[in-house]
Amino acid sequence: MENKLIDIKLDKKMLSVISLSDQSSDKDYWLSKTPIDRIRHIEILRRINYGNSATARLQRVLEFTER
């Protein structure tokens, strides 16, 4: 994955609303992409929705304990 994602701004003028029952080629489009491309796009959408600070909550901590 890229080391650094650019700041992305959402153009709200380009928004379209469709019915869930409408057939579209979205599924075909995403199936044509590689898994890495799909994950990259998920990361971009996550940062648009939650901002860059959302990555802090995904960190895990490993602790060792003695028995």
Per-residue pLDDT of the chain (67 residues; tens, 9 = 90+): 444 555 667 677 877 777 777 777 778 888 899 999 999 888 888 887 777 676 666 667 778 888 8
pLDDT of residue 3: 44
Residue 4 lies in a domain: no
pLDDT of residue 1: 42
pLDDT of residue 2: 47
Decide: 39 and 1 in contact? Cβ < 8 Å: yes
Q: Where are the alpha helices (DSSP H) in the chain?
A: 26-32, 35-50
- Distance separating alpha carbons of residues 31 and 29, to the nearest angstrom: 6
Expressed as residue numbers, the domain containing 35 is 27-51
CA angle 27/47/20 to nearest 5° reads 30
Residue 35 lies in a domain: yes
Decide: 47 and 8 in contact? Cβ < 8 Å: yes
- Distance separating alpha carbons of residues 21 and 31, to the nearest angstrom: 20
How many domains does the chain fold into? 1
Residue 46 lies in a domain: yes
pLDDT of residue 56: 63
